Amino acid sequence: MIRRSVPILLLSSFAALLSAQDGATVAPPAEKKGAGRGAARVVRPGVSTPGVKREMSTITPAAVISIPGTPDWQVTTDDAIWVSNGPKNTVHRIDVKTNEQVAIEVGKRPCSGLATGFGSVWVPLCGDRPGTENGAKPALARVDLKTKTVVATIAVGVANSEGGIATSPEAVWLLSDIKGMLARIDPATNQVTAEITVAPGSVAPVYADGAIWISSPDKNVVTRVDPKTNAVTDTIEVGPKPRFLTAGAGSVWTLNQGDGTVSRVDTKSKKVVATIECGIPGTGGELAFGDGAVWATVFQIPITRIDAATNAVTKQWAGPGGDSIRVAFGSVWLSNLREQNLWRIDLKTM
């Protein structure tokens, strides 16, 4: 998330040194989505399929929404897109009818995804540098959708700044310790009601087909947890260094940072049914599902579209931009972290 060399190098140090409650820690700078302006970057080749690759300059966005800072994680609600902004300690609500935004202060360093459920947007906070007097510890902010204000801040660790958060019909789920601890949070009480041991190095959960699915880039696996029993039911080996996940078309999909592939796990058989070459290895990025496809974003190759019917990359755009992506309201929403803006792209033009 590097924009200006001096202050953002300090932000990277923040991420490396943050310490969650009860010993939970966040990722080192090398895992940051925006790491790279001061470090060697991986060259991402993309796909070689004829006619698939094109330039970002060929896209004309329907709207460009300026968000000074580092616009990053997204989540969609019934009438808005929400975008986190770490150095500003805010999330931004963008009205999908007008493209107008409102910034909401949420707490120190929103990180590790956004989720919606139970009338709220849930915002993990990475807090301040540890060891400072009265420094803010990692926590979870709850923003009420109606009042657009923080109505609770829950004392829970954030295992990794480059992770995620999920909601199910029963609870909110957040990895709270990088050693492999999944916290279950009751939205009725805003309290952690269970802690479930999962694979070491687990970072991101997603809810799909009655279960919570969790990625571990350290162990190259996805873990399935039954929310009715709080028990691990399956551990599935996927591609190397899976981090970000999405769900759709009866599957859980993982972005594998080790080799730039995407693994497709069938939620019924609990087996990998496809490994899709995307040519987008390295740290950072994100996945989303929408319009019958999986959409990936990384720096250098901001948009990759994978058709869920064929398991093939059908379109891929290279150039500046990217960092987080969602598909909703007939549009692709692309957080361009380094450009400090959010693109709204009409799906019909893609």
Per-residue pLDDT at 135: 75
Question: Residue 147, Cβ neighbours under 10 Å: how many?
Answer: 9
Residues 243-267 have a mean pLDDT of 98
| Rounded Cα distance, 65 and 74, in Å | 14
The helix/strand count (H/E) of the chain reads as 1, 29
Per-residue pLDDT at 33: 62
pLDDT band at 134 (very low <50, low <70, confident <90, very high): low
DSSP β-bridge partners for residue 251: 248, 266
Query: Could you give the C-alpha distances from 175 to 90, 158, 179, 272, 332, in angstroms and in order?
Result: 21, 6, 10, 23, 28
Q: What is the pTM of this model?
A: 0.89
pLDDT band at 42 (very low <50, low <70, confident <90, very high): confident
Whether residue 71 has pLDDT greater than 90? yes
Q: Which range of residues forms the domain containing residue 119?
A: 5-349
Average pLDDT taken over every residue of the chain: 90
Query: Could you give the C-alpha distances from 214 to 274, 289, 298, 337, in angstroms and in order?
Result: 18, 17, 21, 25
Paired sense of beta strands 312-319 and 53-55, if any: parallel
Per-residue pLDDT at 130: 56
Of 4, 60, 112, 73, the closest CA to residue 323 belongs to 73
Per-residue pLDDT at 128: 77
Residues 27-32 have a mean pLDDT of 40
| Rounded Cα distance, 130 and 32, in Å | 18
pLDDT, tens digit, 9 for 90 and up, residues 213-233: 999 999 999 999 999 999 999
What backbone phi and psi angles, to 5 degrees, belong to 51? 85, 0
| Rounded Cα distance, 326 and 127, in Å | 26
291 contacts 25 by C-beta, under 8 angstroms: no
Q: What is the CATH number of the domain that holds 110?
A: 2.130.10.10
Whether residue 279 has pLDDT greater than 70? yes
126 contacts 18 by C-beta, under 8 angstroms: yes
Paired sense of beta strands 211-216 and 204-208, if any: antiparallel
Residue 63, phi-psi category: left (phi > 0), alpha (psi -120 to 50), beta (remainder)? beta
| Rounded Cα distance, 154 and 93, in Å | 21
Question: Residue 320, Cβ neighbours under 10 Å: how many?
Answer: 12
Whether residue 79 has pLDDT greater than 80? yes
Rounded to a whole number of angstroms, the CA Rg of the chain reads 18
pLDDT, tens digit, 9 for 90 and up, residues 148-163: 999 999 999 999 999 9
Which residues, other chains included, contact 342 with Cβ-Cβ below 8 Å and sequence gap of 6+?
Answer: 64, 65, 67, 71, 81, 83, 94, 333, 334, 335, 336
pLDDT, tens digit, 9 for 90 and up, residues 294-339: 999 999 999 999 999 999 999 999 999 999 999 999 999 999 999 9
Instruction: Report how many domains make up the chain.
Output: 1
Per-residue pLDDT at 65: 98
Per-residue pLDDT at 133: 54
Residue carrying structure tokens 């540890």: 130
